Amino acid sequence: MVNVGRQALGHVRRACLALPEVTERPSHGAPAFFVRDRSAFVNAWIAGHHDHHFPHLWCAAGPGVQEALVQEGPSTYFRPPYVGHRGWVGVRLDCGIGWEEVEDLCEDAYRAVAPRRLVDELDAICGKRCSE
């Protein structure tokens, strides 16, 4: 399972660090990704955390997203401790979730916490990539 987590961390790292003004640093013993080195939007628990003994992420999410994902896929998504009450969603990395979906979740988490100017910058970058 650790290999799954390490492979996923590579995908998560590439996806998150490609976003405007993102930094990575350890937070509570796990790799974490921050907008402008302040607002966390993804925590990567590669070796698990507390009662969750499997590789997973905690991702910031917009209103209602956590509930919808947990209801739709309870074997993949869960309400994480500490940040679940703020709407964050836990994502298991060991149950066949696709890397593209993981990358989309990271981008959505970024959009949930980034200031409007950075979201607009991301949209401009995406528009340029999509038109090429």
Fold of 2-131: Aspartate Aminotransferase, domain 1 (3.90.1150)
Measured CA to CA, the distance from residue 51 to residue 54 in angstroms comes to 9
Backbone angles phi, psi at 11, to 5 degrees: -65, -45
Q: What is the pLDDT of residue 60?
A: 98
- The DSSP string of 3-18 is HHHHHHHHHHHHHHHT
Q: What is the pLDDT of residue 19?
A: 96
Contacting residues for 125 by C-beta, under 8 A, at least 6 apart: 20
pLDDT averaged per 10 residues in sequence order, the chain, 132 residues: 68 94 94 97 83 85 96 95 94 89 94 96 75 38
Q: What is the pLDDT of residue 116?
A: 95
Q: What is the pLDDT of residue 12?
A: 92
Structural domain boundaries in the chain: 2-131
Whole-structure pTM value: 0.89
Measured CA to CA, the distance from residue 32 to residue 34 in angstroms comes to 7
Q: What is the pLDDT of residue 16?
A: 97
